[in-house]
Structure 1
Amino acid sequence: MTRTALYARYSSDAQRDASIEDQLRLCRLHSERQGWQIVDSYADRAISGASLLRPGIQDLIADAQRGRFDLILTESIDRLSRDQEDIAGLYKRMRFAGVRIVTLSEGEVSELHIGLKGTMGALYLKDLADKTRRGMRGRVEQGKAGGGNSYGYDVVKRLDGNGEPVRGDRAVNETEAAVVRRIFRDYADGKSSRTIALDLNQEGLAGPGGGAWGPTTIHGNPKRGTGILNNELYIGRLVWNRQRFIKNPDTGKRVSRLNPKSEWVTQDVPELRIVDQALWDQVKARQQSLTLGPQEKSANPLVDRRRPKYLLSGLLKCGRCRGSYSLISRNLLGCATARDKSTCDNRLNIRIETLEASVLSGLRTHLMDPALFKTFCEEFTREVNRRLIERGATIAAWRKELEKIERELDKAIDAILAGTPPQRLKDRMQVLEDRRAELKDSLATAQEPPALLHPNMAETYRSRISTLHESLRDEGTRSEAAEAIRSLVDQVVLTPEYGELGIHLRGDLAAMLAFAVGKEKPRLLVGTGSR
């Protein structure tokens, strides 16, 4: 029986979980009529089809590549993806894995479906985005909010004459509005955004979304209009389309881009004013005075203020709050959450050079328990080599069988030339030719196994780490060595222990094995995790 996997998806919170069950029910009925065996079902709830970064579809792809099923059945192609590149890539991967794609709408999917439906899906997403933006612009021009809610306001929920919800209405929340005015007054009086955030957190006043206050929540980015101090809605001016968001095709995350000022849509809403004009102007004047001005040292003043990136930048985490450890002075690191929000009690700091020396020492001796890592490497090497040998033996057997078939076909041809009636050899020759074609196809697509791993891989890893440590002292090789070390370390967790900071390294096991093998991305290491 054909082993079949079912997939279902709906894209927005406005839809229901029942949509998933309806899709799967129809797919099950179709599978039963076809006599297919259902192996498993996969689903993604309230996730857009514009990206493949969905847990359900990722599990489906992984299981397909493991050979768990022979066919994928779904309602329509756009359930799998609406992105042209993604659906084409998914089709190619499934075809390579020997897995067919069948939909209730299109039947068995071919290259023609991928081209046409992929284009239609992409156009659908663009049309949907355009319609959404038109609707939002219309609301803004009526003096209604075009996006999410801002701190200091409540969402007004009411229905129109047809019973439909009216969107975009806001009302001032007097409790939060008082906090907004206080922030503006404190900043105008000379307090820093960090000090204001600490004071609010110590008094137990919840920030936007109910979280803790941070400096960036208050000062934000004046150019992009983010942060409490830059929200023009507080002076009764609604600004929409200040920035747009573009999805990064590699990460699937949205990245903001500032729009030209000529494209901004501005509407006066005096009933939503919280901060008077004089106080707003004082804050803007102070922000302007703190802006970096031209300096003689460099054409770009930020170049002179920029701190150099240190070896472990971006890898340091606080063991108490899971926040980042960052520079609090030129050479001193501290918990950013404790310093900026005062919601973490980890006040222990550490010098950069001390931390780097400890981490480098740990890389050589304590990243993973030496005995356990050695045992793991031995077992890993043994298992990988066994599979490589089996793969090599299979390919060798195919070649040997192909040579034997060629000899038998030659003998059959010689027999026909010697006078044997062709009808007696026809069936046998057909079987041999079919098998020959099958073997040639298998050999054409088979990948030669890589070289066997050395059984002393753990020691190889240790010696290569020692070489990296020495390379850091040489200016010519420091940059390359630093990048190699950063690739091996997944996280450095700093946790207060008996009045001192305990340093715990978490390494990327796949990167370590690749490093020990001496390959950038060896296929045999795909799927190994971190520890």
Structure 2
Amino acid sequence: MEIQIREGSREQKRKLKVCAYCRVSTDADEQENSLENQVRHYETVIKANPNYEYAGVYSDFAISGFKEKRPGLQKMLADAEKGKIDLILTKSVSRFARNTSIVLEATRKLKELNVGVFFELQNINTLSGEGELMLTILAAFAQAESESGSAGAKMVYQRKYEAGIPVQYLERSFGYTKDERGVFVADEAEAVWVRKIYEMAADGYTPASIKRYLNENEVKTVGGVQWVDSTVFRLLENEIYKGDYIMHKHFVNEERKLVRNRGEVDAWYIEDDHEAIVSPELWQKAQDALAAKRDYLAEGSVIEEFTEENYPYMNKIYCAKCGYPLYKRIYSKGNRLNWGCSGTKRYGKTFCDGINIPDGVLRSAWHFKENIYIAEKASDKGVKEFTYLKEQSWKRRHKKKQPPAIPENTEAEYPYREKIFCALCGSRLVRYVNPQSHKVTWVCSRRKRKGKDACDGTRVPDTIIKGWGEIKKDIYIQRKDDKNGKKRYSYTSKKPEGADRA
């Protein structure tokens, strides 16, 4: 009798790669604690299940569920496309998103990838037959509930506005504080600087020069940071500093974004609402000075087709500092035109401080029959003055500035250039030269051509590779950041699995 031995048909069931998604909508302390508890809970649940392979917990903190562009959500969807996830756990439909279209679009996209989403509270798995129908209904309820709450909150403010009860936020404004009665009064330590800002503006100083003055004197904003031009502009244009207040100056639109009220909803202007820091006269002088500055910049700045007929000087103007031609720079949503130094644009401010001249100045001040080289100098008030030299005169005194030399991309300069590859996808690393700092970095060619969805990409400074000494055979390089954010680079001679060189 012949005995036949056969192997049993044992099929190893693959573990599901499972992650979780959590979100809280405000930055309150209790919400932060809630998020930490959720992350800890899901990590424990997934790791405790023998059929699950832990694929991480994705989260978004202090972001509304109406917003589609949430970093945690977007990263999770991208990883799902890369095959890193089979199943997503989340607490409820409203935690995933408050907008019906976002819920359905995301879950359908995941379903096409055979990735399911399990909503614990509603006990719905999107891969099940009835999952999408139930999800559509519940997502609509979640959106309606959120919109109802938002409408109720808006109605409370609306009633206050109509009754003339100010809804103030002056505690966020530089120069104001609350006294023991809860009334907003001038914070004299900051108010002296508010008056100085208005006096300087009324006297003709530009916001840029006021910013420099404040930063030189180590005056900080409400947020404790240095001043920028836009911060000075906002302060100067704010009516609160003359004691008035506009209720509903901003509102939340249908997309849940805070926007400037330009007549879309009712607004109320209240005079003598609180203690003024500057007089109405000084406030108006500052506004007139700002308006004059805008008129000066906009004067003659008619943007047309860029031809020599419309701009007879366009190929005849050069920066007097470095000798490079000036190029067009369009501002204010296409309503203002300046000309800037192309040397600064290409090689950075360390190469040339540059120039920025309004088109109206060129159009009205000079006639150009030959090439001219333009220089600028700023007065103490920040108002720019422009001078120029004809080409012949400029070339007698100056030479065109030469940029730092960059080594040619040859094997002699980089003997390892054919031997370095990305450890993530196996693609060749190619040279990238920063146009301003001139530093050389080697980057993943697949990432460069196809974007981050194709490969997270390796970027390694040339100085790191040079520090490794002679490279005799192909190496695959990877960067890892430690807990302190410090970049560390490693390499191996082993080609990554499934990698194709490119």
1:398 corresponds to which residue? none
The 1:61–1:526 alpha-carbon spacing in structure 2 relative to 1, beyond 3 Å, is: same
The answer on whether the counterparts of 1:139 and 1:145 sit within 8 Å (CA) in structure 2 is no
1:375 corresponds to which residue? 419
Among residues 275, 280, 289, which one is paired with 2:292 in the alignment?
289
Superposition map of 1:164-183 within 5 A: 170-183=184-197
Query: What is the alpha-carbon distance in structure 2 between the residues aligned to residue 179 and residue 125 of structure 1?
Result: 43
The 1:246–1:156 alpha-carbon spacing in structure 2 relative to 1, beyond 3 Å, is: farther
Query: What is the alpha-carbon distance in structure 2 between the residues aligned to residue 325 and residue 282 of structure 1?
Result: 32
Is residue 2:66 matched to residue 1:50? yes
Larger fraction in strand: 2
The answer on whether the counterparts of 2:303 and 2:336 sit within 8 Å (CA) in structure 1 is no
Query: What is the alpha-carbon distance in structure 2 between the residues aligned to residue 52 and residue 42 of structure 1?
Result: 15
Residue type matched to 1:71 in 2? L
Superposition map of 1:78-477 within 5 A: 78-107=94-123, 108-109=125-126, 110-137=131-158, 141-146=164-169, 149-154=172-177, 170-218=184-232, 220=233, 227-244=234-251, 256-260=259-263, 263-292=266-295, 298=302, 306-307=337-338, 327-328=355-356, 358=403, 365=409, 370-376=414-420, 383=426
SS at 1:16 equivalent: helix
1:482-512, Cα deviation, whole Å (9 max, x unpaired): xxxxxx88x6444xxxxxxxx4366875587
The 1:383–1:59 alpha-carbon spacing in structure 2 relative to 1, beyond 3 Å, is: same
The answer on whether the counterparts of 2:446 and 2:455 sit within 8 Å (CA) in structure 1 is no
Query: What is the alpha-carbon distance in structure 2 between the residues aligned to residue 132 and residue 314 of structure 1?
Result: 48
Query: What is the alpha-carbon distance in structure 1 between the residues aligned to residue 152 and residue 224 of structure 2?
Result: 32
1:314-341, Cα deviation, whole Å (9 max, x unpaired): 898779xxxx98755589999xxxx99x
Q: Which runs of 5+ in 2 are unaligned?
A: 1-14, 305-330, 359-372, 383-398, 461-502
Query: What is the alpha-carbon distance in structure 2 between the residues aligned to residue 314 and residue 139 of structure 1?
Result: 51
Give aligned-pair identity as a percent.
18
The 1:179–1:505 alpha-carbon spacing in structure 2 relative to 1, beyond 3 Å, is: farther
Query: What is the alpha-carbon distance in structure 2 between the residues aligned to residue 137 and residue 95 of structure 1?
Result: 43
The answer on whether the counterparts of 1:242 and 1:263 sit within 8 Å (CA) in structure 2 is no
Among residues 429, 439, 445, which one is paired with 1:504 in the alignment?
439
CA offset at residue 214 of structure 1? 3.0
Residue type matched to 2:141 in 1? M
Among residues 26, 34, 52, which one is paired with 1:37 in the alignment?
52
1:404 corresponds to which residue? none
1:155-194, Cα deviation, whole Å (9 max, x unpaired): 5698xxxxxxx9xx63321111111111112222233323
Query: What is the alpha-carbon distance in structure 2 between the residues aligned to residue 67 and residue 276 of structure 1?
Result: 64
2:21 corresponds to which residue? 7
SS at 1:525 equivalent: coil
SS at 2:117 equivalent: strand
1:180-217, Cα deviation, whole Å (9 max, x unpaired): 11111222223332332222222222234222223332
1:138-169, Cα deviation, whole Å (9 max, x unpaired): 555312315871111125698xxxxxxx9xx6
Is residue 2:452 matched to residue 1:528? no
The 1:358–1:121 alpha-carbon spacing in structure 2 relative to 1, beyond 3 Å, is: farther
Residue type matched to 1:504 in 2? K
CA offset at residue 100 of structure 1? 1.4
How many pairs were matched up?
372
The answer on whether the counterparts of 2:90 and 2:120 sit within 8 Å (CA) in structure 1 is yes
CA offset at residue 306 of structure 1? 0.6
CA offset at residue 12 of structure 1? 0.9
Residue type matched to 1:241 in 2? H
CA offset at residue 78 of structure 1? 2.1
CA offset at residue 37 of structure 1? 2.6
Which protein has greater RCO, CA pairs closer than 8 Å, 6+ apart? 1
SS at 1:209 equivalent: coil
- Normalised by the size of structure 2, how large is the TM-score? 0.58
1:88-123, Cα deviation, whole Å (9 max, x unpaired): 332133223322111112221322244233333443
SS at 1:205 equivalent: coil
The 1:354–1:156 alpha-carbon spacing in structure 2 relative to 1, beyond 3 Å, is: farther
The answer on whether the counterparts of 1:137 and 1:146 sit within 8 Å (CA) in structure 2 is no
The 1:382–1:33 alpha-carbon spacing in structure 2 relative to 1, beyond 3 Å, is: closer
SS at 1:119 equivalent: helix
CA offset at residue 43 of structure 1? 3.0
Query: What is the alpha-carbon distance in structure 1 between the residues aligned to residue 231 and residue 265 of structure 2?
Result: 27
CA offset at residue 264 of structure 1? 2.5
The 1:132–1:72 alpha-carbon spacing in structure 2 relative to 1, beyond 3 Å, is: same
CA RMSD for the aligned pairs? 4.8
The 1:54–1:237 alpha-carbon spacing in structure 2 relative to 1, beyond 3 Å, is: same
Higher mean C-alpha deviation, range 95-104 or range 192-201: 192-201
Query: What is the alpha-carbon distance in structure 2 between the residues aligned to residue 255 and residue 311 of structure 1?
Result: 37
The 1:60–1:230 alpha-carbon spacing in structure 2 relative to 1, beyond 3 Å, is: same
Query: What is the alpha-carbon distance in structure 1 between the residues aligned to residue 207 and residue 117 of structure 2?
Result: 55
CA offset at residue 57 of structure 1? 2.9
CA offset at residue 71 of structure 1? 1.6
Query: What is the alpha-carbon distance in structure 1 between the residues aligned to residue 375 and residue 436 of structure 2?
Result: 13
CA offset at residue 275 of structure 1? 1.0
Among residues 24, 29, 32, which one is paired with 1:17 in the alignment?
32
Larger fraction in helix: 1
Q: Which runs of 5+ in 1 are unaligned?
A: 159-165, 221-226, 341-352, 385-454, 463-487, 495-502, 515-520
CA offset at residue 241 of structure 1? 2.9
Query: What is the alpha-carbon distance in structure 2 between the residues aligned to residue 27 and residue 297 of structure 1?
Result: 59
Query: What is the alpha-carbon distance in structure 2 between the residues aligned to residue 309 and residue 507 of structure 1?
Result: 31
